[in-house]
Structure 1
Amino acid sequence: MGCCGDEENDDDILNPLNPTTTTEILDFSDSTISPMNSHFSALTCRDTLRLIFEKLPIPDLARCSCVCRVWNSVASDQEIVTRAFKAPWNLKHVIGKPASGNFWRDNSLGKFAISHRIVRGDSIASLAVKYSVQVMDIKRLNNTMSEHGIYSRERLLIPISNPEMLLQATCYVEVDTCAKREVAVLYLDGGPEHHKTTSNGSSSTSSCSATDLQSKKRVIESLRRSMQVDDATAQYYLTIADGDPRAAISQFSQDLRWETHLGFA
């Protein structure tokens, strides 16, 4: 029934809303939520992404790098990943560029190591006591199971047991060829350059004449055959014996007996 004489169209009352109008209002087919969608253009802006990513930890940066090319490019920026790598340990500097970008994906304590320059009298057991770590942990980190394996090396990597050592420290990204691993190395007595010099500060490069070198080479070769070791180990024992081949063999025999005794202990 109409009001005030107006006619009422019953069809308008009974029929639902115009389906065409409904479709136009509710059609969200062009509004798919995606980082690359035009409605989210802010998330493709590199400056905006940098502001966000600079606050993320390493695991979240790794996830972001899988979203799209733009995100991967920003999340892989060395300045951003270096900052995230340093943050948990409050490092001051990380110097060097890793051989692989995957280096930044893990910043656990096991990623760091102390560089110890081997000197006369060092042994894995004594270093384990000095740095308060386990003997087996040193062997695993340096990819060696033999005590004599250290004598052919200039240094050993020592696991870090106390995270406070990293506070405001400077680490160097290095590939240790003997250990066959890439680590962030902490030098307690200076940088890498310091390890390339002798204790009195002079260059470690030998100034021996060609004749002396040839003579020393023959002695090392003889020791190598007698002790059945490699050249580097033979040279180490000759050095700690002050050039005396007999003393070198004697010292090697003592170390070998000591290591054998530990193996049966």
Structure 2
Amino acid sequence: MGCCGDDDGDLLDQLVPPESDTHTYFDHNSSPSPSSFAEEVVISPMNSNFAALVSKDLLRAILELLPPQDLARSACVCRLWRAVASEREMREKAFRSPWKVRRVLGDPSSALFWGHSRLDRFAISHRLRRGDTVAGLALRYSVQGNFVLVWVVTITVFGGWKELRFFLAIDEYMINVLLSPYLVMGIKRLNNMMSDHGIHSRERLLIPVVKPELLLNSTCYIEFDEQAKREVAVLYLEGGPDEKTNNLTNRAAFTERGKRKILNSLRRSMQVDVETAEFYLSFSNGDPRAAMMHFSEDLRWERQKREHYIFS
């Protein structure tokens, strides 16, 4: 078939056989033998000049069976294939098919998002409540199912004369307790958090999906989390996304609430009033660490000046 640089007319000339060949294949007056007819219309990798491949519907039915990586490669065959493989419906279906997701709503910022259908592209939205901790959420969302793992411990006593066997049963809860430190690190990494204290300045957390069964027949929403600085397909286990967050005014209010929480936390750390904390926060372009650094430098400078006046 034609390459990406060929014209559309050249591509159609390659795909559509000449009229003489078409009449030879589909002449109703002639009655070719079944063996000769099968030999001429068999499609093989060496014989792609077939009129049916011009139909976008048939080409779409073929390409939708490909995984995301192969679908991206098929876009390099020719312009016709690129037009079909670049359709939003095609990319979405290739993205959600491995996990049997029913629907993915929203458009990503880049088309490269569709090319990587891994489990880490999905996340669960958890709206924070009073008393939530990162360790508690890791333990809550790490449940894999009801199972019991039995370990058999054999101990030889008296040089092989007797054997004592102990059956150690470890249930699912104990396994999740043992694995919770790794799950905590996964939550922090996904939400771009340095420590557990970052949970106090947020209204929701993104939880990694550890059970692919949760994505079965589900509806996900492509969102860019401003605090996590990450674009993922978000799964809502309770209801759906808040429509207010889609409004620019409410988004600004959400950002203002986050700034107010950071300001109060900075004020308590500095042990100063709100105006002083707001000054250092604005002077450091909203970076709390830089604000604390500037505040410490000013305190050190004032202490040195005070000692200079006292001893002079």
* Cα distance between partner residues in 2 of 1:82 and 1:128: 30
Q: Map 1:10-25 onto structure 2 (within 5 A).
A: none
Match of 1:172 in 2: 221
C-alpha displacement at 1:44, in angstroms? 4.4
Match of 1:116 in 2: 126
Deviation readout 1:30-65 (Å, 9 max, x if unpaired): xxx647334525444422321211221211111111
Match of 1:96 in 2: 106
* Cα distance between partner residues in 1 of 2:121 and 2:264: 40
Match of 1:159 in 2: 208
Match of 2:58 in 1: 48
SS at match of 2:69: helix
Q: Which structure's residues are more often strand, by fraction? A: 2
Q: 1:228 to 1:91 in 2, by over 3 A?
A: farther
Quick one: percent identity of the two aligned structures?
51
* Cα distance between partner residues in 1 of 2:203 and 2:267: 22
* Cα distance between partner residues in 1 of 2:201 and 2:264: 17
Aligned to 1:144, which of 170, 193, 200? 193
Q: Map 1:171-250 onto structure 2 (within 5 A).
A: 171-193=220-242, 224-228=266-270
C-alpha displacement at 1:87, in angstroms? 1.2
* Cα distance between partner residues in 1 of 2:72 and 2:262: 50
* Cα distance between partner residues in 2 of 1:115 and 1:83: 22
User: What letter matches 2:117 in structure 1?
Assistant: N
User: What letter matches 2:206 in structure 1?
Assistant: L
Q: 1:44 to 1:145 in 2, by over 3 A?
A: farther
SS at match of 1:158: strand
User: What letter matches 1:227 in structure 2?
Assistant: S
User: What letter matches 1:49 in structure 2?
Assistant: L
Contact 1:141 1:179 in 2 (8 A): yes
C-alpha displacement at 1:221, in angstroms? 5.2
Match of 1:58 in 2: 68
C-alpha displacement at 1:186, in angstroms? 0.5
C-alpha displacement at 1:156, in angstroms? 0.6
User: What letter matches 1:180 in structure 2?
Assistant: K
User: What letter matches 1:156 in structure 2?
Assistant: L
SS at match of 1:149: helix
SS at match of 1:192: coil
Contact 1:44 1:71 in 2 (8 A): no
* Cα distance between partner residues in 2 of 1:222 and 1:171: 35
Deviation readout 1:62-103 (Å, 9 max, x if unpaired): 111122332222111111111121211111211111111111
* Cα distance between partner residues in 2 of 1:228 and 1:113: 36
Q: 1:224 to 1:72 in 2, by over 3 A?
A: same
State the Cα RMSD in Å. Answer: 3.2
- Please, which runs of 5 or more residues in structure 2 have no aligned partner? 4-10, 18-48, 143-179, 278-312
Match of 1:199 in 2: none
Contact 1:117 1:195 in 2 (8 A): no
User: What letter matches 1:86 in structure 2?
Assistant: R
Q: 1:223 to 1:86 in 2, by over 3 A?
A: closer
Q: 1:62 to 1:227 in 2, by over 3 A?
A: same
* Cα distance between partner residues in 2 of 1:221 and 1:51: 55
User: What letter matches 2:61 in structure 1?
Assistant: L
Contact 2:106 2:222 in 1 (8 A): yes
Q: 1:62 to 1:113 in 2, by over 3 A?
A: same
Match of 1:106 in 2: 116
- Please, which runs of 5 or more residues in structure 1 have no aligned partner? 1-32, 197-202, 207-212, 235-265
Deviation readout 1:85-129 (Å, 9 max, x if unpaired): 121111121111111111110111111000011111111111111
User: Under a length normalisation based on structure 1, what TM-score does the superposition of the two structures give?
Assistant: 0.61
Contact 2:99 2:215 in 1 (8 A): yes
Aligned to 1:82, which of 92, 107, 112? 92
